[in-house]
Structure formats: structure tokens, C-alpha cells
Amino acid sequence: MSHAKLTEEFLKNEPKTDWHNETLWWVRSKRDVSSKGIPEWEELRSLASQIKDNVLSNIGNYLQEFEKNALANGVHVHWAEDGKEHNRIVQSIIEKHNAQRIVKSKSILTEECHLNQHLESNGFDVVDTDLGERIVQFAKQPPSHIVLPAIHMKREEVSELFHEHIQTEKGNSDPQYLTEAARNHLREKFLKADIAITGVNFGIAETGGFVVCTNEGNADMGVHLAPVHIACMGIEKLIPKFEHLGVFTRLLARSATGQAITNYTSHFHQPRPDQEMHIILVDNGRTKQLAREKFRNSLKCIRCGACMNTCPIYRRSGGYSYDATVPGPIGSILSPGFDLKKHKSLPFASTLCGSCSDVCPVKINIHEQLYEWRQVIAENGLDDMPKRFSMNIARKVLSSPKVYFTLGKIARKSLSILPKSLINNPLNAWGKQRDLPNPPKESFKEWYKKNRS
């Protein structure tokens, strides 16, 4: 279904739309305060963007360097060309250890690969340990936001879910009570876990180490207790040197939630003596995107979600209106690279206002790429017929001063004599909730001809 149709559904509940809009704007406002506390903010953004330019231009070398150093640290390194291969690798590690119970901290990459579905259909028990992720897992929904997975749900809805799944009191939606219940529930899962899966925020080529950022400490809790750690990492998550890390950690949490830093910034280098550590390096369409000159910058994304919080469309349409793993502006330039046909409405789910590009901590030109995807969609014949038809007419009219002049005159005349009920017919989307301007007697051109030439 198109973004417009899904949005129309979302908008039917206006109080909830307003609540969603205001909640995310509140996060964006916290981000403003926090980012403006750093005088060199704009400089940091440029620096981060340039470091990522370097990474994208030399990604092969950095990947090899990363692999070499990780191997030397005693880490098992795997390469996955796509989501399926990634899931097979995870499964093979699980099976090698005869494991059954898996805890997983937040990883958009594993969402992208549909790892949970894969493991569950093969009979394994996967528990998402990030609170928001656990909530949407109970609801059998995907995350609606990459940093705030359950932001579309009000606490009363969470209370219902918890009552059903972890037997909390019916109707008790006190946040502290619910969080405490989730902690106790998850604690048991952590203690019994055979394998801990995490995502990766930054992989450091120079050291072979990697960094995972969470607010709940759930990645650490999982990894410290389980005998096996599997870290799933998109190949674009690399940075060249350890000294570059600070540039990104300063930007990440401030952009995401307005915090100076995530509560946990955990560095992993090598397994404990009694532990096995795996890293899976996943391509899944990234090298294809890298080869698309106009879109390669999208791979700089550090998944902070700031573009979602700032986006006037996302705030009022919700994550599910995008029907993609990564919603919002960044998702709308990433998703068409995966499946152009399925996601062809996303580049149009924007007014090209540019707020996403200005908020982006790594300066991805998101709104310009939205424009470029629109070109790709029309050039590949994936545009809708009514649009192609009307744009063809528009082009012919606008290419000829005479036709433009005559048609403009007829249109203004018709608008001034036709009754409003006829003008605001169901086919006129403009007129559904808006009046058309009152047509003037003469156009500017006619006025100019009379008065100036």
C-alpha cells in the first residue's frame, strides 16, 4: 500500500496523531538543546561526514584491516552477502553450540534480515531485550522507529500487552511498575541465555574492536552472561581509527535523544577465556548502494533517528506508513535501493523541506536524494499512469507560451463562473478540505501588457 493510503489511516485518529507528533517534536527539541551546547557542532558534522567519505572510498581495505585485527583478537569473522546468508550463519553458530535460548539487543540490521522470523520458524526462542523492542515483539509488530521502537504505542497499550504476556495487573499502566515488571521478566531470560546477539554501532578497522551503544545496558547484560556472543554488523559501520570514535559518539546520542552520551558505550575487543565471539559482516545491498553515485552518501547513516524526529511527515504519519524496516526520511532513500517497485511511493512522502538534511549528524543530503529517487522511478517507468498523464499535459502547456496563456485564461474564467460545489468535486483532491484561490479578472501578464508595455 502507498504511503499516502497508510497515512490516511493513521490520521483518522487525530488526537493520537497529535500526541505522536508532539512526542517526537519533544525529542527533537531535546536534541536542539543538547547539540547547541556544543559550539563546534557544525564542525563535528563535517568531520564525521568526511571520515565516512574516507570509509566509503576505501571500504575494501578497511574491511580487510578490520578482519585481520579481529581474527588476531581471537574473534571469529564471517561474511554474509545477504540477509539469508546472515541468518544461516547465525543459525549454524547456534546449532554448533546446541543452543536454544537467545537474547538479542537492538539491531536494525537483524530486523532488515528478518532474523527473528528465521530463528523462530526453526524452533529457537529469541528474546529482544531492549524494552521497546520487547514491547513490539509481544505485539508481533516490527519497530516503528529505529531508536524508539514502540513510540507509536501509549502506555495503556503497553499495559494491556504486559498483562497478557507477563501477567502484570490489568489496567495498571504506571511506567515504573511496568518497567520493573519488564526488568524481572528479562532478568530471567538473561540468566538462562545460551547465546547473546548484538548489533554494532561502530567497528574500528585499526583495532578490530567494535562498539555497541545502548541506554538500558541490555547488550552488556546479555554478552556478559552468555557463553557465546554474535555481533551482527553492516559493512558501512566501519570507522578507520579509534581516535575517530569520539567524533561519532558525541554526535550519536545528542542527535538521537538529546543525551550527551548513551548510558552504555560498550567496547568489545576479544572474547573472555570461557567465551566465543563472532562478528558477521553483512553486505545485503550495501555495495550496490555504494555503486550508485547519487545515493552512496546514504551509507554514512549512523542510525540516530534524528531525521525521523524532525520530519513533519514522519511525525504525523507514524513509522508503519513507510512499510519498510527503516522508516522516515533515511528509510525513504535506503529502501528504494532494496526494492524500487515496492517502495516507489516513499520518495514522494516528502515536501522536500530539507529538515532531515540539516539535522543529520553526518550531513547526508537526504532531501536531494529523495528528489533523485523520484527521477529514477519515473525514468524506469514505475510512475503511476495518472501522474504521467497529467505531467505530460503540464509539460506541453508549460513549453508553449501561447497554450499556457490561453489555457490559463480559460481556467480562471471557468473557476469564476462554476459553482463551488462543482469545483470541489471528489476528483479534486485540493478542494476536499481547502478552497481554491479566487480567480482574478486578469493575470499578471495581462496586467503588465496593459500597464507597462
Partner 1 sequence: MTKVALFIPCYVDQFYPQVGIATLELLEKLGCEVEYPMNQTCCGQPTANSGYAHQNKEIDDLFIKNFSGYDYIVCPSGSCSLHVKDHLHSDSNEKEAQQIRSKTYELVEFLHDVLKVDTLKTTFPYKVGLHASCHGLRGLKLGSSTERNIPPFNKTAELLSKVENIQLVDLDQPTECCGFGGTFAVLEEALSVKMGKDRIKDHVKHEAQVIAGNDMSCLMHMEGIINRDGLPIKVKHVAEILNGTTL
Strand partners, 234: 282
Strand order from edge to edge, sheet including 228-234? 76-80, 276-282, 228-234, 195-198, 101-104, 125-128
State the nearest-atom distance from the C-beta of 360 to partner 1, in Å: 9
Q: What is the Cα–Cα distance from 407 to 397, expressed in whole angstroms?
A: 8
State the nearest-atom distance from the C-beta of 372 to partner 1, in Å: 9
383 binds partner 1 (CB under 8 A): yes
35 binds partner 1 (CB under 8 A): yes
State the nearest-atom distance from the C-beta of 155 to partner 1, in Å: 24
Near partner 1 in 281-320, by CB under 8 A: 310, 312-313, 316-317
Q: Using the rule CB under 8 A, give the single segment among 126-134, 264-272, 274-282, 398-406 that binds partner 1.
A: 398-406
Interface residue with partner 1 among 71, 391, 418, 422 (CB under 8 A) is 391
Interface residue with partner 1 among 1, 42, 92, 169 (CB under 8 A) is 42
Cβ proximity to partner 1: between 50 and 91 the closer is 50
Interface residue with partner 1 among 16, 23, 41, 340 (CB under 8 A) is 41
Cβ proximity to partner 1: between 18 and 243 the closer is 18
State the nearest-atom distance from the C-beta of 82 to partner 1, in Å: 28
335 binds partner 1 (CB under 8 A): no
Strand partners, 280: 78, 232
96 binds partner 1 (CB under 8 A): no
429 binds partner 1 (CB under 8 A): yes
Cβ proximity to partner 1: between 86 and 344 the closer is 344
How many chain residues touch partner 1 (CB under 8 A)? 73
Q: What is the Cα–Cα distance from 269 to 245, expressed in whole angstroms?
A: 14
Non-local CB neighbours of 171 within 8 Å, separated by 6+ positions:
159, 163
Cβ proximity to partner 1: between 138 and 373 the closer is 373
Near partner 1 in 403-422, by CB under 8 A: 404, 408, 411-412
